[in-house]
Amino acid sequence: MGNIVANLFITLDGVYQAPGGREEDTETGFAFGGWQLPVSDDQAEAAIEAEIRRIDALLLGRKTYDIFAAYWPHQSGDIGNTLNRVPKFVVSGTLSAPDWQGTTVLPDASAAGRLREEYNEVHMFGSGVLIRSLLQADVLDRLHLWLYPLTLGQGKRLFDSGTIPATFRLAEPARSFPKGAVSLVYERAGDVRTQDMPGI
């Protein structure tokens, strides 16, 4: 049985919108596109590239798929070759004829669960809305947060409306990088429990 792993580049205040470029996603007037690279470093970038080389299949939400499909088919190198080679899956209720070679459309987040029966490492990048849907459907095995040391005060946030109550456990040791980014890999650990602190 394989794993579905969501990789998300995220700020300290939970923003995942447009880490890679100024024009990547300007929805709602977002003014900080391209925030990731200035707070990244060679070690963090090498770790991300190693993560990408592990994947057997790529799973994306529609908006991230459109961004990737417009860029990566025209790229080579380790990352481009990997993303163009592996099977790709996009969850969408409106896309019928995907342009990126090797793409299959899935109707909803629940349908993505079957990918674990066919592939060892199904990885996502971005796709915050889909991450919440996968958590809701209980088909996300690991949440890999690449946490960067900055706050933006605006933009799309992962844990926004629609977030389900859940607890998580650290699945791998945390890794830190020279400019302050941290890699955190979590697995679901069950429901939220409550308990009073002593003396309260």
Percent of the chain whose predicted confidence (pLDDT) is above 90: 92
pLDDT for res 30: 97
Q: How far apart are CA 102 and CA 7, in angstroms?
A: 21
Query: Residue 200: its pLDDT value, please?
Result: 76
- 3-class DSSP string for the chain: CCEEEEEEEEECCCECCCCCCCCCCCHHHCCCCCCCHHHCCHHHHHHHHHHHHCCCEEEEEHHHHHHHHHHHHHCCHHHHHHHHHCCEEEECCCCCCCCCCCEEEECCHHHHHHHHHCCCEEEEECCHHHHHHHHHHCCCCEEEEEEECCCCCCCCECCCCCCCCCEEEECCCCEECCCCCEEEEEEEEECCCCCCCCCC
Banded model confidence at residue 160, pLDDT cuts 50, 70, 90: confident
Residues 59, 105: Cα–Cα separation, whole Å:
10
Q: How far is 174 from 185, CA to CA, in rounded Å?
A: 7
Contact 3, 145 (CB under 8 A): no
Q: What is the mean pLDDT of the chain?
A: 95
pLDDT tens digits, 98-134: 999 999 999 999 999 999 999 999 999 999 999 999 9
Position 161 scores a pLDDT of 74
Residue 163's pLDDT is what? 84
What is residue 54's predicted lDDT score, i.e. its pLDDT?
A: 93
Confidence of residue 162 (pLDDT cuts 50, 70, 90): confident
Of these ranges, 65-69, 128-132, 148-152, the one predicted with the greatest mean pLDDT is 148-152
Q: At 16, is the pLDDT very low, low, confident or very high (cuts 50, 70, 90)? A: very high
Q: Is the pTM of this model over 0.85?
A: yes
Specify the length of the chain in residues. Answer: 200
Question: Does the pLDDT value for residue 51 go beyond 90?
Answer: yes
Q: What is the Cα–Cα distance from 81 to 107, expressed in whole angstroms? A: 27
